[in-house]
Amino acid sequence: MKTTIYHNPRCSKSRDTLKFLTDAGVDAEVILYLDTGWSAETLKSLKTETGLSWENMLRADASKELKTAIDNGDEQIIINHILTNPVALERPFVTTSKGTRLCRPITHLLEIIDERPTSPWFTERGEPVL
């Protein structure tokens, strides 16, 4: 199963998700979106595939900044903001043949992968997942 993670190595949630995938034996394609940036097409696809609103896809500080655009449904302003500020989007997003999820919390990952690491499995902060 092809698996892609949109990863920010500076984010503990993203690091946990990538480690979970690795420990489960999943060979994921890692997209370092802070380096490569986003495309409008990818952003729209993530929104469609997850069924999330822009407000739920954006980090809290970004959604406050874009409140008027969100309230008015002005997708182009939101997309332009993310294109120029890639860190504004929540993370990590993971895509598999079973779907796409914002893996925040990490347990959302369990909805789209069959593989599991050896239990018990803990986040880097010591929170139990399995």
11 included as an active-site residue: yes
Please provide the DSSP assignment of 36-85 as one string.
H---HHHHHHHHHHHT--HHHHB-HHHHHHTHHHHHTT-HHHHHHHHHH-
Q: Identify the active-site residue in 11, 34, 77, 87.
A: 11
Q: Distance from CA of residue 100 to its chain's centroid? A: 9
Q: Name the residues annotated as catalytic.
A: 11
